[in-house]
């Protein structure tokens, strides 16, 4: 069994971004907007802001009150769309219920959409002509590359079909010429499907859902889940202690996909910067 060390791969990626940034006159700029004060979202935004500073980016952390109106949020996005200092704009999700998430995403200039959630960027990914690619799935592709395993023709099962992870993940694997099955909460005989998979990516948000005897010996298992148990411990969607005994490669939680998502956000900001000049 081999661990895919997301923390280390992310650190290497950040170091190579920093080297590049050190050569630039104008620094790449990222704006991160948080609406409200959800503690988990606030922590993610803080981590993103710190990561920017570490690689030498210009960063704006914008905290809006929970009662911010749609018009106020759209006007902030418009200001950032027009700012010469800003190459990437990220609105932390989920938004408070009174706001329309989809129209907020569509208001971000596709050229600055470093989350890769705008319909134009999702469309380009679907056509295998990607520009800005959603961070978590792109980070998973970087981790898969690090294993050195050839993805062409491999059987992949993606568990979870969200816009943020599952759907773009399936698309990334398809673009890499793998054979892809996308499962959701209504899928029948999930364990039978998983048993045939060379590569499994799980993003469902249910602690320890994936069991050791569901996995094909030697498979690669990527765990996108981050769940907090009652005792405060963080665990993934995979029952790590048992699954690790059968896999070829596995990502830990924490220290797996999480650090890769943030490093990939920086990578996307650099891509947006380079496309602009
Ligand atoms: N909330 C959970 N994941 C993400 C993400 O990748 N981007 C944004 N903007 N919000 C999120």
Q: Write out pLDDT tens, residues 9-58.
A: 999 999 999 999 999 999 999 999 999 999 999 999 999 999 999 999 99
Structure confidence at residue 140 (pLDDT): 99
- State how far Cα 259 lies from the chain centre: 9
Let me know if 58 is exposed, middle or buried by CB neighbors in 10 A (0-12, 13-18, 19+). Answer: middle
Name the residue of 42, 89, 164 whose CB sits within 8 Å of the most ligand 1 atoms, as the mutation to test its pocket. Answer: 164
175 pLDDT exceeds 90? yes
**pLDDT band (50, 70, 90) for residue 237:** very high
Positions marked catalytic: 48, 92, 115
| 134/157 Cα distance (integer angstroms) | 19
Q: Given pLDDT bands bounded at 50, 70 and 90, which one contains residue 277? A: low
Q: Which atom of ligand 1 is nearest to the CA of 265?
A: 6
Q: Mean pLDDT throughout 138-166?
A: 98
Percentage of the chain surpassing pLDDT 90? 99
Percent of the chain with pLDDT over 70: 100
pLDDT digits (tens, 9 = 90+) for 251-275: 999 999 999 999 999 999 999 999 9
Q: For residue 137, is pLDDT > 90?
A: yes
Residue 119 token pair: 């319909």
Evaluate whether 25-112 and 135-258 have a shared fold: yes
- Classified by CATH at the fold level, domain 25-112 comes out as Rossmann fold (3.40.50)
| Ligand 1 atom at shortest distance from the alpha carbon of 134 | 6
pLDDT class of 6 with cuts at 50, 70, 90: very high
Phi, psi of 32 (to 5 degrees): -120, 120
Provide the b/e sequence for 237-264 (b: ≥16 CB within 10 Å). Answer: bbbbeebbebbbbbbbbebbbbbbbbbb
- How far, in Å, is the centroid of ligand 1 from the Cα of 178? 26
Alpha helices by DSSP H, listed for the chain, are 6-22, 39-55, 70-81, 101-107, 119-126, 135-147, 166-175, 190-195, 240-243, 257-276
113 lines ligand 1 (CB under 6 A): no
Q: Whose CA is nearest to atom 9 of ligand 1?
A: 92
State the Cα–Cα distance between residues 90 and 112, nearest whole angstrom: 9
Residue 203's pLDDT band (boundaries 50, 70, 90)? Answer: very high
Is any atom of ligand 1 closer than 6 Å to the C-beta of 264? no
- d(C-alpha 16, C-alpha 214), whole Å: 38
Average pLDDT, integer, range 212-222: 98
Please give the torsion angle defined by the CA atoms of residues 47, 49, 53 and 54, in that order, rounded to the nearest 10 degrees.
20
Q: Where are the domains of the chain?
A: 25-112, 135-258
CATH code of the domain occupying 135-258: 3.40.50.720
**CA–CA distance, 53 with 31 (Å, rounded to integer):** 12
Q: Of 36, 44, 107, which is best to mutate to test ligand 1, by the most ligand atoms within 8 angstroms of its C-beta?
A: 44
CB of 89 shorter than 6 A to ligand 1: no
Instruction: Give CA angle at 116 (32, 52), nearest 5°.
Output: 35
Distance 93 CA to ligand 1 centre (A): 5
CB of 49 closer than 6 angstroms to any ligand 1 atom: no
Q: Is the CB–ligand 1 distance for residue 92 below 6 Å?
A: yes
- Identify which of 57, 62, 60 has the alpha carbon closest to the alpha carbon of residue 28: 57
As a residue count, the chain comes to 277
pTM to 2 decimal places? 0.97
Distance in Å, CA 115 to ligand 1 centroid: 7
Yes or no: say if 96 and 257 are a contact pair by the CB < 8 Å rule. Answer: no
Centre of ligand 1 to C-alpha 117, Å, is 9
227-228 and 234-235 as β-strands: parallel, antiparallel, unpaired? antiparallel
> And the tokens for 71?
């018009």
Query: Residues 75-127: pLDDT tens digits?
Result: 999 999 999 999 999 999 999 999 999 999 999 999 999 999 999 999 999 99
- Average pLDDT on 173-195 reads 98
Mean pLDDT of the chain: 98
136 Cα nearest atom in ligand 1? 6
Ligand 1 atom, smallest distance to 135 CA: 6
């Amino acid at each position: 069994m081999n661990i895919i060390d997301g923390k280390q791969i992310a650190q290497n990626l950040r170091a190579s971004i920093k080297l590049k940034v050190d050569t630039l006159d104008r620094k790449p700029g990222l704006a991160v907007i948080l609406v409200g004060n959800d503690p988990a979202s606030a922590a993610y935004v803080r981590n993103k802001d710190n990561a920017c500073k570490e690689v030498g980016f210009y960063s704006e952390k914008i905290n809006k009150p929970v009662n911010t109106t749609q018009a106020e949020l759209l006007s902030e996005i418009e200001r950032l769309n027009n700012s010469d200092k800003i190459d990437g704009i990220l609105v932390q999700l989920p938004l408070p219920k009174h706001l329309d998430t989809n129209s907020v995403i569509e208001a971000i200039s596709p050229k600055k959409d470093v989350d890769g959630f705008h319909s134009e960027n999702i469309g380009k990914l679907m056509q295998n002509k990607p520009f800005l690619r959603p961070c978590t799935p792109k980070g998973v592709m970087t981790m898969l590359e690090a294993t050195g395993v050839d993805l062409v023709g491999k059987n992949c099962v993606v568990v979870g079909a969200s816009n943020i992870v599952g759907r773009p993940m399936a698309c990334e694997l398809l673009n890499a010429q793998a054979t892809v099955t996308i499962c959701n909460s209504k899928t029948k005989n999930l364990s039978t499907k998983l048993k045939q998979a060379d590569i499994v990516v799980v993003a469902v948000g249910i602690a320890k859902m994936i069991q050791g005897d569901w996995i094909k010996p030697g498979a690669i298992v990527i765990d996108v889940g981050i769940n907090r148990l009652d005792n405060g411990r963080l665990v993934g969607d995979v029952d790590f202690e048992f699954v690790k005994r059968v896999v070829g490669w596995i990502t830990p939680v924490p220290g797996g996909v999480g650090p890769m998502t943030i490093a990939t956000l920086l990578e996307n900001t650099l891509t947006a910067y380079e496309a602009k000049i």
